[in-house]
Chain A
Amino acid sequence: MRSIARTEAGRIAPGVGFAALLAALCVAAVSAAAVGAYTVNVLHLTDTARTILTDVRFPRVVLGLLVGSALGVSGAALQGLFRNPLADPGLIGVSSGASLGAVAFVAIAGGSALALTAFGMPLAALAGGLGVTLAVWRIARVDARVETATLLLAGIALNSIAGAIIGIVTARSDDQQLRTLTFWLMGSLSAATWQLVASAVLPIALGIAALMPMARNLNALALGERDAFHLGLDVERCKNRVVAASALAVGGAVCAVGGIAFVGLIVPHIARMLLGPDHRLVLPASAILGAILLVVADAVARVAIAPAELPVGVVTALVGGPFFLWLLFRSRREVVRA
């Protein structure tokens, strides 16, 4: 007899799946706010504890939710667009572009008054991310059509150019700049303030809002661009919108917290394993799963070596790498042995 929670294709029924995901999201958010270097007793809230919660932990959890969902949804949308489960938001150049913008800002505006404002570096990062994505997109554009293969290859080329420039800038940085840069390049939520949340929320919300209605289009693209056109999809418009919206969401995420590895790559896999490949389920599920993963990873980053802190990118990479290997071995079981 088959369980009511599972459909015939071995997937979890959508209603059950989303209820579980939302419950897990609440648990993750509340526990992440509860843990940290300072022990908070909810029954006897001191003024210090109250300040730590409202000014440090809450903005940090909210930022984690925002950034995690941005990375999850963009990863799912780009994997759908490229029909490639190895696609990552970084592929279209947005992450390295944002890093380049941030690094350039730190190097140029280093000790100046501008660097002290919370908006300076995020804005430089957002500009860098969108600028490099635009360059990748322009390179791949031939006669009003964007060549998807060229888009990938141009992304790889510009990523490595950006990486090289970042390397040059970091080599010339002083110790203080280097510390800021390293933490930022590995990705960290430690700078979270309500101000930073405010600067990230607009691009992330706009990006996610533009990606969600693309679910049916991404399903059609599963047949490849030619057959998607035969089904009635305006392929070029869909591509432009997915690239632009992903760049906006990921740009908003990276500008606030730096580059965070693996969330955008593994979250869509988990979503598809649970609910199947329909993007109408995968996109929202990836948003929730991305938020859960990042908030939990950040909690781990805060307590693992307390009172010091790990960059959250280290935690996600530590979880993501082995998970990806597991996926690799799992998919191998399906084949007939040679």
Chain B
Amino acid sequence: MLELRGVSVVTTGGRAILSDVDLEIERGALTVVLGPNGAGKTTLLRVMSGEIAPTRGTASLEGSNVRSYGPAALARKRCVLSQSRSVGFAFTAREVVALGRYAYGASDVEGSAKIDEALAVVGALDLRDRPYHLLSGGEAVKVDVARVIAQGSSIALLDEPTNHLDPRVQYDILMLFHELTKAGLTVVAALHDLNHAALFADQLLLMKDGSVVANGAPSEVLSQEMLSRVYDLPCSVARTGSGRPLVIPAYFSSEKGVLDAQCSHSPPEHDVLLVSS
């Protein structure tokens, strides 16, 4: 499906952003990429999307180098929800979703149906004639997600799709993509919320300084030691009744709610909570 072999990305100034990344994305799964700011999550997604060519190594999509596809052919195979999005000029929400059909050319017979279907899937049919630039953050992200769905590709690359959203909208967006994976979509999402990752990920990649330091199921990757090492954040990891990890940063269990006295390199001793569901 989507495979990276020995991928390194080095800037023209010689700074390594990705170092020798090897990974395989499972078809029909929701893969979450975690890691601190600057770990290389966005660059990893940009390599996967064919936007940048790796300095060394290859990214391949369905057996062929991602960079060997033309822009339109690539757009029919993968869609991308960028981290920051904006629309120039006063397009309506439906017109923005219609842009998702760009790769299908001017005579796109099923386009109109796909656009309305995508608006319905995200629950944004009522926004269709509203100018995009006047939408709230939560409304705008629904329209952006509808645009990405209307593109009709089998892989969705999402760069921090829950940024700046209220908890309910964050949950709705992740739940939607979780359900779309059940219908066969392959999703790769860079996230920051460890518990969202624990809840929604089928496969979890943990990155630090341009390398993938852990790759597996959330229950294997989200350990106290690993998180302390990668994030320099003391925390406890509890288990829910179903065995899902639940990450609790140390400031919740420290008396004064402050981190300053905590040793930042070796994880402090904490009670491990047992949560039943």
Interfacial residues, chain A to chain B (CB-CB below 8 A): 8-9, 80, 83-85, 216, 219-224, 226-235, 272, 276-278
Contacts and interface: CB of A to CB of B under 8 A. Distances in A.
B38 interface: no
Which 3 pairs between the two chains have the least Cβ-Cβ distance?
A232-B75, A232-B103, A277-B89
A278 B49 CA distance: 27
B251 interface: no
B86 A277 contact: no
7 contacts: A83-B88, A84-B88, A222-B89, A224-B85, A228-B102, A230-B82, A233-B102
Interface of B: 49, 51, 70-76, 79-80, 82, 85-92, 95-96, 99-100, 102-103, 106, 129, 131, 151
A290 B164 CA distance: 42
Given A230-B49, A232-B71, A276 B100 contact: no
A227 B90 contact: no
B71 A234 contact: yes
A227 B71 contact: no
A232 B99 contact: no
A216 B90 contact: no
Given A9-B131, A220-B102, A222-B99, A231 B151 contact: yes
Contacts of B106: 216
Contact of A272 (B75, B86, B90, B92): B90
Given A8-B129, A220-B99, A229 B91 contact: no
Contact of A276 (B70, B72, B76, B90): B90
Given A9-B92, A9-B131, A222-B89, A231 B103 contact: yes
A222 to B, nearest CB: 4
Nearest to B103: A232
B95 A278 contact: yes
Contacts of A220: 99, 102
Contact of A227 (B70, B74, B82, B89): B82
Contacts of A84: 88
B170 to A, nearest CB: 21
Contact of B71 (A9, A222, A233, A277): A233
Given A277-B90, A277-B91, A232 B129 contact: no
Given A8-B129, A9-B92, A9-B131, A227 B75 contact: no
- Among B87, B99, B103, B131, max chain A CB count under 10 A is at B99
Nearest to B83: A226
B194 to A, nearest CB: 27
A232 B103 CA distance: 5
A223 B103 contact: no
Contacts of A233: 71-72, 102
B79 A223 contact: no
Nearest to A276: B90
A19 B90 CA distance: 23
Contact of A222 (B74, B91, B129): B91
A94 B60 CA distance: 43
